């Protein structure tokens, strides 16, 4: 594929996404059409942890890790900020503001802004903490946990394997944890060591699931549509690849099969 074709496809893809997001927003505004979201174990725990934080007067620790705005991970960082916004809003009933930590200095303003907007009890500037990246960050967070005794850790951001230090520290001190990383190595560590884990795109639907008014829940549908199309495309491609080796399988047959699959998928999607 030459460069021009790639660019054309990219433009089409972005435009289709915009269209889908608009459609999702349209349904979002009609409460009757609001989507029920698949339950995610880790997110369900957030409710309990928030309550625990309130009742025991211990803060929640929300970690951005190395997530940063400004690069190609900007949308991920914004999605994490949105999730934290929802969590902080829930913690408002208590008297102790959650702690936000990050290792990218460019995230400090975003963190402070998130806290200021969601926390209604005065200035939370001192609850937003920056440490230098990677190992230094992991080491510093592990150490300061001993001081802060958080009720739970929600680590949603960019982490590498240094996440192991933080999760191990949390476990040693008896603090529950939820972890998700937009990097593969961090994701693997999260799966092995965290009490609860989100995987891949679950990070992007988390704020919708935690949000009390179901804000953004319909955007999960956009992700589902794209994911379904990709799976379908891959299946059709695979069938066509092997069609020459299988008797009776022509591309028309494969296309018909694909159409049936799409119809089935749509029906099942509606019924769910």
Partner 1 sequence: MGRAGISAFVAFAVGLLTLLSLLLGDNPALFGGQPGSEVLAERLALPGDVLLRLVVIVVALSIVIGIANLLYVHVGRVARGKFYSAVLLASFAFTIYWYVTNRGDSSLLEAAQVPIESALASLLFFSLVYGGARVMRKRADIWGLLFVAVVIIVLLGSLPLAELAPVKAWSDWLMAVPVSAGARAILLGIALGTVVAGVRAMLGQDRSYRG
Partner 2 sequence: MSEEFNWLDYVEQEESAPAPARRSGLRRFLPRLPRLPSLPRLPGRPRLPRFPGLPRLRRRRVDAAPGQPSAADLLGAQDERPLEALDDRLLQLRERSSADSQPEADAGQPLYDVDDVLVTPALLQKPGGVISADALAKAQEQQVELLRDIVGGATQDEGQGGRRLMPGRALFSLGALPRLIVASVLLLGVSLPFVSSNYAEGELPPSQFPVAAQGAAAVYSLLDSLTANDTVLVAFEYGPMAAGELDPLAELALRHIVARGAVPLIVSSSPIAVARAQNIIRAINRSVAAGGLSLQHGIDYFILRYLPGGSLGIRELNENFADVVRVSAKGVLTGLAFDSLDDMAAVALIAESAEDLRNWAEQVVPELEDTRLLAFTGMAAAPLAQVYADSRDEIFGLVAGYRDAFTYAEMLQAKFGASKPQTGQPEPEPASSNAGHDTQADQPDAAGAQAERAEATVRALVASLQPSPTAPSPTAPPPTLTPPPTLTPRPSNTAVPTATELPTATATVETILIVEVTSPQQVRIRRGPTRADDILRLARAGDSFEVLGANADGSWYNIALAPGLAGWIAEFLVEERTSTRAAFEAGQASASAGPPAGPVILRSVFRFSLGKTRPRYYQVNSPTTSDLRDYVLLRNRSQEIPRLEAMTLGSLAAALAIALGNVFYALGALRGRRREGRA
Minimum CB separation of residue 110 from partner 1 in Å reads 6
Closest CA to 111 of 95, 133, 88: 88
Nearer to partner 2, 9 or 22 (CB): 9
Tell which positions 144-163 bind partner 2, by CB under 8 A.
146, 149, 160-162
Q: How far apart are CA 153 and CA 134, in angstroms?
A: 17
Which of residues 19, 71, 113, 230 is near partner 2 by CB under 8 A?
Answer: 71
**Is residue 56 near partner 2 by the rule CB under 8 A?**
yes
Which of residues 46, 155, 162, 178 is near partner 1 by CB under 8 A?
Answer: 162
Residue 128 backbone phi and psi in degrees, to 5 = -105, 115
Tell which positions 132-151 bind partner 1, by CB under 8 A.
132, 135-136, 138-140, 143-144, 146-147
Minimum CB separation of residue 25 from partner 1 in Å reads 7
Q: How far apart are CA 82 and CA 110, in angstroms?
A: 10
Closest CA to 168 of 138, 208, 124: 138
Q: Site map for partner 1, 218-257, x if CB under 8 A?
A: -x--xx--xx--x---------------------------
Minimum CB separation of residue 124 from partner 1 in Å reads 11
Tell which positions 32-51 bind partner 2, by CB under 8 A.
36-37, 39, 44-45, 47-48, 51
Answer yes or no: are the C-beta atoms of 62 and 86 closer than 8 Å: no
C-alpha separations of 54 from 85, 118, 250 in Å: 16, 15, 63
Nearer to partner 1, 95 or 113 (CB): 113
Which of residues 105, 149, 259, 262 is near partner 1 by CB under 8 A?
Answer: 105
Nearer to partner 2, 94 or 254 (CB): 94
Q: How far apart are CA 114 and CA 112, in angstroms?
A: 5
> Which of these ranges, 7-15, 29-37, 240-248, 262-270, lies near partner 1 under the rule CB under 8 A?
7-15
Closest CA to 62 of 151, 168, 189, 195: 151
Which of residues 11, 12, 93, 266 is near partner 2 by CB under 8 A?
Answer: 93
The residues, any chain, with a CB within 8 Å of residue 113's CB and separated by 6 or more, are: none
H/E stretch holding 148: helix 135-148
How many residues bind partner 2 (CB under 8 A)? The answer is 44
Closest CA to 200 of 226, 218, 173, 234: 226
Which of residues 178, 204, 211, 217 is near partner 1 by CB under 8 A?
Answer: 204
Structure tokens at 182: 């937009």
Which of residues 115, 164, 210, 254 is near partner 1 by CB under 8 A?
Answer: 164
Nearer to partner 1, 148 or 258 (CB): 148
Could you tell me where the beta strands, DSSP code E, fall in 142-266? 152-158, 177-181, 196-197
**Is residue 199 near partner 2 by the rule CB under 8 A?**
no
Q: How far apart are CA 16 and CA 101, in angstroms?
A: 36
């Amino acid at each position: 594929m030459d460069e021009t074709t790639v660019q054309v496809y990219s433009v089409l893809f972005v435009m289709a996404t915009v269209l889908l997001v608009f459609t999702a927003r349209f349904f979002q505004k009609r409460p009757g059409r609001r989507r029920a979201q698949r339950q995610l174990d880790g997110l369900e725990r957030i409710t309990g942890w928030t309550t625990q934080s309130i009742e025991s007067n211990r803060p929640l620790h929300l970690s951005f890790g190395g997530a940063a705005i400004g690069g190609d991970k900007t949308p991920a960082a914004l999605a994490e900020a949105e999730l934290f916004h929802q969590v902080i809003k829930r913690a408002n009933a208590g008297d102790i503001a959650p702690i936000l930590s990050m290792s990218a200095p460019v995230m400090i303003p975003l963190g402070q802004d998130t806290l200021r907007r969601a926390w209604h009890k005065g200035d939370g500037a001192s609850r937003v903490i920056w440490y230098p990246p990677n190992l230094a960050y992991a080491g510093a967070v592990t150490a300061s946990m001993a001081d802060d005794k958080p009720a739970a850790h929600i680590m949603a951001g960019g982490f590498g394997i240094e996440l192991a230090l933080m999760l191990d520290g949390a476990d040693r001190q008896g603090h529950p944890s939820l972890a998700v990383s937009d990097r593969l190595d961090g994701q693997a560590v999260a799966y092995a060591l965290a009490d609860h884990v989100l995987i891949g795109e679950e990070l992007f639907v988390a704020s919708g699931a935690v949000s009390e008014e179901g804000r953004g829940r319909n955007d999960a549908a956009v992700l589902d549509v794209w994911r379904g199309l990709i799976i379908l495309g891959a299946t059709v491609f695979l069938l066509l690849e092997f069609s020459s080796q299988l008797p009776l399988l022509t591309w028309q047959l494969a296309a018909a099969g694909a159409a049936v699959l799409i119809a089935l998928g749509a029906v099942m999607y509606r019924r769910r």
